[in-house]
Structure 1
């Protein structure tokens, strides 16, 4: 009950103050971009003060170090919001509303998607600026697909439940970033590095493989409601998760082979 009370208060705050005018739809996007810049700058300061290995990094490595701080911050935020909306909120409950589940949205749900869009826009800009050191073509494709889906879900209010299901996959990001930090700090042979690899494997299995299977099942089970979306939205619902699922399988295979190699060396 307390969680619902706090959520209601937050939504009232957003509606009455932040989202009060016609241009407020973009407030969350602009605020997210500013937050990304703030996290990047804080990462520079804090890392220089408390991590000795940071000063020994090259310029490109420092950029990636701080970029990963941004992605970790975003992952924690959007995973929390996504889990709440998909599994705990009444917004997408099957027996709560008469409206089709694919057409439901709220001020808070749209605001959170705007925050995520601001992050993907910022990160894509950094990827292109530093290409290919921060990520190759697959990352560009992933971000573009995510941004198109977010724009559609924000502006039309359609398909937000499936957008949030896909965004739960960001739960794997902190473990991935930690692995890079440990490797960069010269701890590749340490026990934390091995534990991180195991955690990353299982988190990826749950959040990016099993969850996507549930997503496709959910689309099939609610297809009568999915069909009520506009044609463009219906295409996004069917195409974007499918492409991202393929990318997830490719990355999962790489993670599996990497973990297998690490365990073999340990043995």
Structure 2
């Protein structure tokens, strides 16, 4: 039964990869060129990033919605966060893994246009931990909890879309999106840190934790630390950027530039 579950998981990874590649290569270029004159005027490199952010937004809506559903209604993983029935979580994680593989290949193909070493580090850290979820079905609650962070992605992407079509950063739509991005990013990536780690520490020394073995334990803790360091860094950048925009929008506002620009 476990082997069948693993096979299904990797089939979902493969189909996820193909689906997101299809959105990037076919669906987004067709829809975007028909719906936005600004898209047609972008350089090839910018069109590539536009399409990749469309894929990112689609992934965030799918995975974020499934994540909230599982947290609310999956009693098995809420009762046993380490060894609870992982099937629904594995499907959600498999979708994310397919997306991450697609995105890493995209970075490799278009590194000059899209280079982002922090995001590559993020992707590898996530894959490192999620392979254990797919192969052994362990830590379903914690694996799913990390996916809450995807709920901030559409706002981050929307900021880039505004810049790509020339919307001023001080315009009302851009400021509203910037505020929403900062608030949601903080809520789903920073504010949840104490709750997450309190639940992590509560498992230490339990029979379920000991059964994990050293490999999953290291993958779990190390990947979490890496991801949260990146999240704190990105939160700092977002907060600084939003402050500068708001200060600039005020009459006579001339904020100083700093290293976070």
TM-score normalized with structure 1 length: 0.86
Partners of 2:172 and 2:93 lie apart in 1 by 37
Is the aligned partner of 1:185 residue 2:165? yes
CA contact (8 A) 1:204 1:252 kept: yes
Matches within 5 A, 1:1-267: 23-40=7-24, 41-94=26-79, 100-188=80-168, 189-223=170-204, 224=206, 225-267=208-250
CA contact (8 A) 2:152 2:188 kept: yes
SS of corresponding position for 1:92:
helix
For structure 1, list consecutive stretches of 5 or more residues without a partner in the other structure.
Answer: 1-14, 95-99
Q: How many residues align?
A: 245
Moved more, 56-65 or 76-85: 76-85
Moved more, 250-259 or 75-84: 75-84
Partners of 1:264 and 1:246 lie apart in 2 by 27
CA contact (8 A) 2:129 2:219 kept: yes
Quote how far apart the aligned CAs of 1:148 are: 1.3
Quote how far apart the aligned CAs of 1:25 are: 3.3
Partners of 1:217 and 1:135 lie apart in 2 by 35
CA contact (8 A) 1:219 1:226 kept: no
CA contact (8 A) 1:39 1:70 kept: yes
Partners of 1:181 and 1:55 lie apart in 2 by 13
In structure 2, relative to structure 1, the CA distance for the partners of 1:238 and 1:161 (3 Å cut) is: same
TM-score normalized with structure 2 length: 0.88
SS of corresponding position for 1:133:
helix
CA contact (8 A) 1:103 1:229 kept: no
Quote how far apart the aligned CAs of 1:187 are: 0.6
Q: Provide Cα deviations, 1:23-67, integer angstroms capped at 9, x if missing partner.
A: 433210111012102222111001111101001100000000000
RMSD across aligned C-alpha pairs, in angstroms? Answer: 1.8
Q: Provide Cα deviations, 1:51-107, integer angstroms capped at 9, x if missing partner.
A: 01001100000000000011111111111122222233212223xxxxx43012333
Alignment-derived partner of residue 253 in structure 2: none
